[in-house]
Amino acid sequence: MTSKSAKPYSLIALDMDGTVLDENSQITPENRKWILRAIEHGVTVMFATGRGLQSVQPFVQELGLTSPMVAVNGSEVWEAPGLLKTRHVMDPVWIREMVDLAVRRDTWYWGYAVEGLFNKERWVEDIGSMEWLKFGFYVEDAALLGEIRAELETTGRYELTNSHPFNIEVNPSGVSKESGLLEVCAMRGITMDEVIAMGDSMNDLSMIRAAGLGIAMGNAQEEVKAAADYITALNTEDGVAKAIRKFVFGEER
């Protein structure tokens, strides 16, 4: 980990859960204050999240964002609210295979489709009728989780990350928050050197490594901390606000 002094970054990409959101899934007043100050200062602030559009929109509206968005770990890139730039979908056959794997291994599972979020308790009868963006497994057994991951890796089809130590998130190969941010940079005519990326989980790792300044939350997984240029405070301690104060405004507190 290295420390970088304040420099003129033009874009901040924020993960949501475990980063800009607290344990009640809310944006704290201090985080809101400094996000809005960064925007007033001319910095683009955007979400780069594993969430789907439906669960991101309330926070976009809360902050009044008009910026791009990377959703569902990069499976969707939005040029602005309501303006889709790119969508990467998964073959329904893959989804059927992963559901079968989850059932066989007795794990919780969920899937993000364009049409909504579905899970083990509320699944769909006609998988082929949906446009699938991401699939996930959850099980609190590290050995079993490793076996599932190994089975998925043998297909060569998938980008495998997590948003929690006990889950696996599955996107199409080559699709990540980094790939989404690269699209945003191309749209904006900037480079990744001008980007601050903040996150806490393995689905943030690629963008944290690629950004000009990669910031891990104090509550981040250890591999994410090891890859980051800087480690800020916990998500419950306004870590996003503190990082913005330090690296956008040069304030040390």
Q: The domain containing residue 129 runs over which residues?
A: 92-172
Domain limit, last residue, from 130, 147, 172: 172
Q: What is the CATH number for 47?
A: 3.40.50.1000
Sign of the torsion formed by the C-alpha atoms of 58, 61, 62 and 67: positive
Report in angstroms the alpha-carbon separations of 186 from 79, 180, 192, 206: 11, 10, 9, 17
Question: Looking at the structure, do residues 161 and 193 belong to the same domain, yes or no?
Answer: no
- What contacts 24+ positions apart, CB below 8 Å, involve 211-214? 211/13, 211/181, 212/9, 213/4, 213/9, 213/247
Question: Looking at the structure, do residues 83 and 181 belong to the same domain, yes or no?
Answer: yes
Cβ atoms 72, 175 nearer than 8 A: no
Q: pTM of the full predicted structure?
A: 0.94
Question: Looking at the structure, do residues 79 and 110 belong to the same domain, yes or no?
Answer: no
Q: Which of 72, 165, 153, 157 is nearest to 110 (CA)?
A: 72
Q: What is the pLDDT of residue 8?
A: 83
Domain limit, last residue, from 172, 203, 221: 172
Question: Looking at the structure, do residues 164 and 46 belong to the same domain, yes or no?
Answer: no
Total number of domains constituting the chain: 2
Question: Looking at the structure, do residues 83 and 96 belong to the same domain, yes or no?
Answer: no
Q: Give the HSE-up count for residue 120: Cα atoms under 13 Å, Cβ half-sphere.
A: 15
Determine which helix (DSSP H) or strand (DSSP E) holds 84, and give its type and residue range: strand 83-87
Question: Looking at the structure, do residues 83 and 185 belong to the same domain, yes or no?
Answer: yes
Question: Looking at the structure, do residues 227 and 243 belong to the same domain, yes or no?
Answer: yes
149-161: burial string, b at 16+ Cβ within 10 Å, e else: eeebeeeeebbbb
Note whether residue 5 is domain-resident: no
Specify whether 126 is catalytic.
Answer: no
Q: What is the pLDDT of residue 7?
A: 60
Q: What is the pLDDT of residue 2?
A: 37
Note whether residue 125 is domain-resident: yes
Note whether residue 3 is domain-resident: no
Q: Do β-strands 116-119 and 83-87 pair in parallel, antiparallel, or remain unpaired?
A: unpaired
Q: What is the pLDDT of residue 1?
A: 39
Task: Profile the chain (253 residues) by mean pLDDT over runs of 10 residues.
Answer: 59 98 97 98 98 96 97 98 97 98 98 96 96 98 98 98 97 98 97 98 98 98 98 98 96 73
Question: Looking at the structure, do residues 181 and 113 belong to the same domain, yes or no?
Answer: no
Q: What is the pLDDT of residue 253?
A: 61
Q: What is the pLDDT of residue 3?
A: 40
Domain limit, last residue, from 140, 172, 204: 172
Note whether residue 2 is domain-resident: no
SS3 172: strand
Q: What is the pLDDT of residue 251?
A: 84
